[in-house]
Each structure stands twice: as structure tokens, then as C-alpha cells.
């Protein structure tokens, strides 16, 4: 496991250096990477979007159907939540606290009835996408408080960033504080940690949806393994994207 951390650290540093020398390509890469992030994160929640639907939503194009209006709002909110997480990650100190958690939730649910207020669930919903054991409602405030205290501890600070991200996400999902969007919040918190430490956001692909669900039933190390695989895959594809763009530019310049 230690060698995988070192490999990802080295690849991440090389990729940051590559992007620093290519600002235009870097901007295009980030835009496309975020589209992939939005697509796959929605798919983990069972919402499959087309490229056209995402483009229309992000462009805030008017639609008539009520279902499309709701769907587009969720896409726009998800993008706003990514922007918020990026701004938090850019801070000098990593903040994983109740203020941040509630702000992410409220951003995801802004303008959507029943999802806009960060209120803890009062029951254990029978019909939900996730089937792992979750905390009884009465334990939510205590367990969530325990999690944010851990995130401010010397033990947490001593962990590798990928360990931090997986610990936060896994522990949050065992609490599952909100009836809606707990999964999205958990993954955004994990990516806030990764972004703060200079890593690419971890995108768990739709094809790994069942593996992701199963990882929440087991110990945190199972989710961490999935995240390591996702980060390695992301870095390999990101490097290919940038180098292909550089080659294409060179060919155009040579004509």
C-alpha cells in the first residue's frame, strides 16, 4: 500500500508540473474533468445524464418539463458545490467541520423542496440507494461531532491525504446524516481533502457503482482501495489527455 501512495504522489507531482507549463490545456482539462465528475457522481446516485443535458443545465437554458427543471437544478447545484469545495480546499487550513458539511448539503439542495435545509434525518429510510448499516437517528449529532473532532486531531493530520479522504468519506457514510444527498456530501468532503493536498479529485466511475456500494459495507480500507484505483486511472488518463493535446497543437503548428 505504501508504494501505491508514493507512486500516486510522484504521478500527481509530475502532472501538476505538466499542467503548470500548459495553462490553456489545463483550463480545457479541468472543464472536461469536472463534466466527468458531475456525470459519474450523478450516476452513483442512479441519475444518468447525457452530455447534452449537462451542457444545457450548466448553460442555464430554459426548459418546459417539470422533471427537466428539477434535474437541471440538481446539476447546477452540484457544480456550485464543486466550486464551493474548491474554494474551501484552497484555504491555508483544511476545514472539515459542521459548517462546511451543512454548506455543502445546502448548496446541493438549494431551491429544491425538502433538500435545502441541512436537517438530520429522523428515521432510517427503507427505500434508499445505499444498503449498508447506518447510525440510528438519535446518534447522528454525537457521531458527526466525533468525526469532525477527529478531522481536527493530530492523528488525522498525520495520515496520508488519501487515507484522510477515505476515512472522512467512509465514516460520514456510516453516520449517513441526511435522508438525501449524504453520498454526494461524503464524496465532496473526500475531494475537498484531496484538492487541499494538491491531488486530482477522485472520480468513482459509474461502472464501479456496485463496488462502491459494497465498499461501504466493509472496513474503510475497502473504500480506500477503490479510491486508489480511481486515482491511478484518473492520472493515467489525464496524462494521456494533456500529451495528446500537446501533440495535436504541435502538428497544427507544423502545417
User: Which residue would you say has higher pLDDT here, 72 or 144?
Assistant: 144
* pTM score: 0.94
CB 11 within 8 A of CB 233: no
Q: What is the pLDDT of residue 81?
A: 98
Q: How far apart are CA 210 and CA 212, in angstroms?
A: 5
Q: What is the pLDDT of residue 253?
A: 87
Q: What is the pLDDT of residue 121?
A: 95
Mean pLDDT of the region 16-33: 95
* DSSP 8-state class, residue 96: -
Closest CA to 101 of 167, 160, 137, 148: 148
Cell 486511472 sits on residue: 233
Mean pLDDT of the region 232-237: 97
CATH code of the domain occupying 2-254: 1.10.3290.10
Domain ranges of the chain: 2-254
Residue 66 has pLDDT above 90, yes or no: no
Residue 61 has pLDDT above 80, yes or no: no
Q: How far apart are CA 223 and CA 231, in angstroms?
A: 12
Work out the widest C-alpha separation in the chain, in whole angstroms.
Answer: 68
Residue 63 banded pLDDT, cuts 50, 70, 90: low
Q: What is the pLDDT of residue 113?
A: 86
Residue 130 banded pLDDT, cuts 50, 70, 90: confident
Amino acid at each position: 500500500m505504501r508504494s501505491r501512495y508514493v507512486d500516486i504522489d510522484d504521478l500527481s507531482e509530475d502532472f501538476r508540473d505538466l499542467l503548470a507549463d500548459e495553462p490553456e490545456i489545463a483550463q480545457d482539462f479541468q472543464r472536461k474533468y469536472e463534466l466527468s465528475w458531475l456525470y459519474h457522481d450523478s450516476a452513483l446516485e442512479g441519475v444518468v445524464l447525457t452530455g447534452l443535458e449537462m451542457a444545457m443545465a450548466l448553460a442555464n437554458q430554459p426548459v418546459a418539463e417539470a422533471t427537466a427543471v428539477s434535474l437541471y437544478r440538481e446539476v447546477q447545484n452540484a457544480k456550485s458545490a464543486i466550486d464551493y469545495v474548491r474554494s474551501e480546499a484552497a484555504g491555508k487550513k483544511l476545514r472539515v467541520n459542521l459548517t462546511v458539511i451543512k454548506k455543502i448539503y445546502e448548496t446541493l439542495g438549494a431551491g429544491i423542496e425538502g433538500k435545502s435545509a441541512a436537517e438530520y434525518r429522523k428515521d432510517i429510510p427503507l427505500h434508499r440507494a445505499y444498503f449498508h448499516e447506518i447510525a440510528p437517528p438519535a446518534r447522528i449529532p454525537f457521531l458527526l461531532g466525533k468525526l469532525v473532532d477527529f478531522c481536527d486531531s493530530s492523528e488525522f493530520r498525520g495520515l496520508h491525504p488519501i487515507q484522510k479522504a477515505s476515512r472522512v468519506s467512509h465514516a460520514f457514510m456510516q453516520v449517513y446524516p441526511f435522508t438525501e444527498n449524504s453520498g454526494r456530501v461524503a464524496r465532496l468532503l473526500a475531494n475537498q481533502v484531496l484538492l487541499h493536498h494538491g491531488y486530482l479529485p477522485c472520480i468513482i466511475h459509474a461502472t464501479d457503482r456496485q463496488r462502491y456500494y459494497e465498499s461501504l459495507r466493509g472496513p474503510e480500507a475497502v473504500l480506500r482501495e477503490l479510491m486508489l484505483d480511481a486515482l491511478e486511472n484518473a492520472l493515467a488518463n489525464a496524462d494521456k489527455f494533456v500529451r495528446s493535446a500537446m501533440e495535436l497543437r504541435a502538428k497544427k503548428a507544423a502545417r
